[in-house]
Amino acid sequence: MKDATPRATLLSEYRPFSHLIDAVELDFRLAPNATRVRSRIAFRPNPAGEGGPLRLDGEGLTLISARIDGKDVAPRILPGGLVCEVPDGPFTWEAEVEIDPASNTALEGLYMSNGMYCTQCEAEGFRKITYYPDRPDVMAPFTVRIESDLPVLLSNGNPASREGGVAEWHDPHPKPAYLFALVAGDLVAHEDAFTTMEGREVALAVWVRPGDEGKCAYAMDALIRSMRWDETEYGRPYDLDVFNIVAVDDFNMGAMENKGLNIFNSRYVLASPETATDGDYGRIEAIVAHEYFHNWTGNRITCRDWFQLCLKEGLTVFRDQQFTGDMRSPAVKRIEDAHLLRGRQFREDNGPLAHPVRPESYVEINNFYTATVYEKGAELIGMLRRLVGPDAYRRALDLYFERHDGEACTIEDWLAVFEDATGRDLAQFKRWYSQAGTPRLAVETARDGNALAVTFRQSTPPTPGQPEKRPVVLPVALGAIGPDGTELMPTRVIEVTEAEQTERFDLPEGAVLSILRDFSAPVILTREQSAQDRALLLAHDTDPFNKWEAGRTLAKDALVAMITDDRAPDTAYLDALAPVLGDETLDPAFRALVLAIPSDDDLAQTLASAGTTPDPQRIDRARHALIGALAKHLEEQLSGLYDAMRIDGPYSPDAGDAGRRSLRNAALLLLSHRDEGARADAQFEAADNMTDELAALTTLLRIDRADESVARFHDRWRDDRLVIDKWFSVQVMHAPGPKAADVAARLTEHPAFDWKNPNRFRAVMGALGANHAGFHAEGGTAYDLLADWLVRLDPVNPQTTARMTTLFETWPRYDADRQALMRAALERIGNAPGLSRDTSEMVSRMLG
């Protein structure tokens, strides 16, 4: 349990809990300001524990009564919980507490959103509901009784009874408290059913507020496909008679995998063609799958302690990535994931917040739901799979499920199943879990008679608390293309394990190596390569990731030369792009990715890691100039694509149509630099779906001709909260740099700016952070605006505040003036009276 003064929790200090729990019964009498929670818990001593009194976690609870084996007791109440002397053997603990869900703006524990009760218990929210050992290694079956006048009363597991205003639920699967959930509200269901491979009939429901029931079909479809996929790909059937999903408007994160009762941020459930973009549909599919897959990777097998978070998150992200790849295009998915990893995780890994995939210390665990734990964690699973092969991977997973079902596990347990299933020693691989930072992989080639000698040098820069790094295991997938474009060497995987290692390949003069195919390891690859060789790979690489990567690197090289040497846009790059865009054998979604220009933040990161201080204004200008040049150079082709990719007929969110729209809308954006927005104006008027409507609006914002459309969009969608989030967001995200802070400040005065709603807050402030030229505009007004709002939000919602402070994490990249301004903003947040533990940990880590 925690003290009032923040103190770090250490992995090395893990001790098993003193007791085990055989059964938990909870009884809720719901009332907005005075909910009563009665608990009855059957404890017995844990043979692996160290004895001593019973210590239960609890926060913000009013204890009404406590009894042991029916006799009143008077536990000692401490800041983070209570301590009570208990019998040596088994005993029953009973307590009644009162809590105030209506005043719970932090959205952890039991809270209210639009008149509905809901819970969020991961990571340590259950202690705000009742006194309990709120740690993932204490697992128990739960029975829950809910008393309320509200028509829909839900909890985990299977429904046991429903009479009058009382519902009872029973969850037979032992679970940790962080998977507890309760929902009560005036909700309507979109229902369906699923029969598992074992023949179990499962009733499925997506619960939403009345009026939203027409927007649930896609989430339900994604759920059914996820259930089937987990059976066919991992042999994992569902294990209860019901599976419920609830959409809630006020939610700190994306969604939560509570056993049998997933709770979602409504933006990841609700979709209709008119209101959701292709991107929204894709995210709904992925997140529904992610939460569902947690049923086995997270719930049936959970984490021993929060340091092991990547055990469930890395694996579940990897599984949802595989799922999306199977549902859509594996190549496009891999590019998108690698791109996201570089944008978010490399940014984290190369700044003051760098931490290992399995951290060893935290003050507030909620601050460690990071891109490193999730996305880099998933990369580690992908590397393991690549190293052992898909068949051995499947055997190892079968062993994992068989050996550890019902347990709370560690990374050691996870690696042991791979060692046992494959006979492979993973001692060196394990460094990936403990060593922070992004490895650099430098590659040099030399002729050696008939062979090509390829030397790999790996190194990882120091990160906070880790000055020295050791070599890691890098699966490097590579192949080679001949000067005429034919493949000379199909993909093979080299294991780079040494700091320096040379491999020889029998390849003729002129062969062009394609290295790190499929982005086979999460590293920064550095390599001298001519623009000509890159153009050859862009035209002919058989590996889609490296084909895309070649174009990307050409674009970056062109941009870097424009930024640092004031060069004109490189026509070689523009010429190399044309044949790919026109290649009709290529998936339009892939072509759209090739056409995307690296973002300002990506360029800033590229410059910084090459030792150049990024200048946000110059980056912005160069990017604009390249876009202008591209539009001019390829105008005819883009115009042809814009027409050819048009879809006649009703909207479908499937990958094929979505790909066509993404290519068409990428062309639209470029063409707006030639037609002054004429096509975008027309598209904005004619669009019958949100993807095209929003793309048109964004395009008009980018060329600063959107005033009228912005007003029209608002009038059209004023009653749809999720669309209005988009309205807030795009205006800030695409405002011209110097205006962004003003636009954001003006929007915070809009009557619809409900800043206590995390989605709305992020729509404005997250967008400000994402507008690179705007956030880093001269004078620091954007930094100040964000700092003001974070200081205001912190007492209301510490978790969201702490997450949003990461917009400042890149401060060390910039010039002395900006560094000083960003640090001053952080210091101001850090000095706010009564600052939460969440935010103060983030600020102090960033300031070092």
Listed ranges 1-9, 117-125, 165-173, 604-612: which one lies at the site for ligand 0A1 (CB under 6 A): 117-125
User: Binding to ligand 0A1 by residue 518, rule CB under 6 A?
Assistant: no
Distance of closest approach, residue 366 Cβ to ligand 0A1, in angstroms: 4
Q: What's the CA gap between 664 and 647, in Å, rounded?
A: 10
Bin 765: left if φ > 0, else alpha if -120 < ψ < 50, else beta.
Answer: alpha
CB of 368 to Zn ion, least distance (A): 13
Please give the residue ranges that form the binding site for Zn ion (CB under 5 A): 313, 316
> Reduced to 3 states, what is the DSSP secondary structure of residue 809?
coil
Judged by beta carbon, residue 120 or residue 699, the one nearer ligand 0A1 is 120
Shortest spacing between CB 316 and Zn ion, in angstroms: 5
CA distance 431 to 437: 11
Measuring CA to CA, how many Å separate 786 from each of 61, 250, 754, 803?
A: 33, 21, 16, 13
Residue 212 binding target from ligand 0A1, Zn ion, none, CB below 5 to 8 Å by type:
none
- Say which entry of Zn ion, ligand 0A1, none residue 122 contacts (CB below 5 to 8 A, set by partner kind): ligand 0A1
Q: How far is the CB of 749 from Zn ion (least distance, A)?
A: 36
In the set 66, 118, 123, 580, which binds ligand 0A1 (CB under 6 A)? 123
CA distance 610 to 328: 35
Q: How far is the CB of 374 from Zn ion (least distance, A)?
A: 7
Pick 254 or 628: Cβ nearer ligand 0A1:
254
Tell me the C-alpha distance between 835 and 829, whole Å.
8
Token pair listed for 108: 């952890």
Q: Which residues of 279-309 are buried (b: 16+ CB within 10 A; e: fewer)?
A: ebbbbbbbbbbbbbbbbbbbbbbbbbbbbbb
Closer residue to ligand 0A1 in complex, CB, 309/785: 309
Site for ligand 0A1 in 749-778 (CB under 6 A): none
The region of 78-86, 247-255, 561-569, 840-848 touching ligand 0A1 under the rule CB under 6 A is 247-255
Q: Pick from 291, 336, 379, 549: which binds ligand 0A1 (CB under 6 A)?
A: 291
Residues 6+ apart with CB under 8 A from 418: 384, 388, 392, 396, 424, 426
Residue 233 annotated to the active site: no
Q: In terms of CB distance, is 244 or 366 closer to ligand 0A1?
A: 366
Give dist(CA 500, CA 489) in Å, integer.
23
Candidate ranges 53-61, 116-124, 130-138, 643-651; the one touching ligand 0A1 (CB under 6 A)? 116-124
Q: Which stretch binds ligand 0A1 (CB under 6 A): 119-127, 132-140, 508-516, 677-685?
A: 119-127
With a CB cutoff of 8 Å and minimum separation 6, the contacts of 696 are 668, 680, 681, 683, 684, 687, 709
Binding test (CB under 6 A) with ligand 0A1, winner from 56, 240, 253, 825: 253
Query: Quick one: 165 or 254, whose CB is closer to ligand 0A1?
Result: 254
Residues in contact with 273: Cβ distance below 8 Å, sequence separation at least 6, in sequence order: 650, 651, 653, 688, 689, 690
Residue from 25, 249, 257, 518 binding ligand 0A1 (CB under 6 A)? 257
Minimum CB distance to ligand 0A1 smaller for 131 or for 292: 292
Q: Before 123, cis peptide (omega within 30)?
A: yes
Q: How far is the CB of 128 from ligand 0A1 (least distance, A)?
A: 12
Nearest 5°: phi and psi at 143? -120, 130
DSSP letter for 483, please. Answer: T
CA distances from 14 to 107, 410, 421, 755 (A): 28, 12, 28, 39
Q: Each residue of 418-443: b (16+ CB within 10 Å) or e? A: beebbeeebeebbbbbebbbbbebbb
> 24, 30, 116, 255: which one contacts ligand 0A1 (CB under 6 A)?
255
Q: Which is nearer to ligand 0A1, 124 or 570 (CB)?
A: 124
- Hey, which bits of 516-599 come out as E strands? 524-526
- Rounded to whole angstroms, the Cα distance separating 91 from 69 reads 6
Contact 32, 109 (CB under 8 A): no
Q: Choosing from 291, 364, 549, 809, which is the catalytic residue?
A: 291
663 binds, among Zn ion, ligand 0A1, none (CB under 5 to 8 A by kind): none
| Residue 256 found at the interface with ligand 0A1 (CB under 6 A) | yes
Query: 123 touches which of ligand 0A1, Zn ion, none (CB within 5 to 8 A by kind)?
Result: ligand 0A1
Applying CB under 6 A, does 562 fall inside the site for ligand 0A1? no
Helical residues (DSSP H) of 598-755, grouped into ranges = 600-609, 616-633, 635-644, 655-675, 678-686, 690-702, 707-717, 721-733, 740-747
**x-marked contacts with ligand 0A1 along 346-385 as a string, rule CB under 6 A:** --------------------x--x----------------
Contact 50, 26 (CB under 8 A): no
Residues 139-178 close enough to bind ligand 0A1 by CB under 6 A = none
Q: Name the closest residue to ligand 0A1 (Cβ).
A: 253
Q: Which amino acid type is present at position 426?
A: L
The interface partner of residue 410, options being Zn ion, ligand 0A1, none and the CB cut-off 5 to 8 Å by kind, is none
Residues 309-338 that bind ligand 0A1 (CB under 6 A): 313
Nearest distance from C-beta of residue 255 to ligand 0A1, angstroms: 5
Binding site for ligand 0A1 (CB under 6 A): 120, 122-123, 252-257, 290-291, 313, 366, 369
Residues marked as catalytic: 291
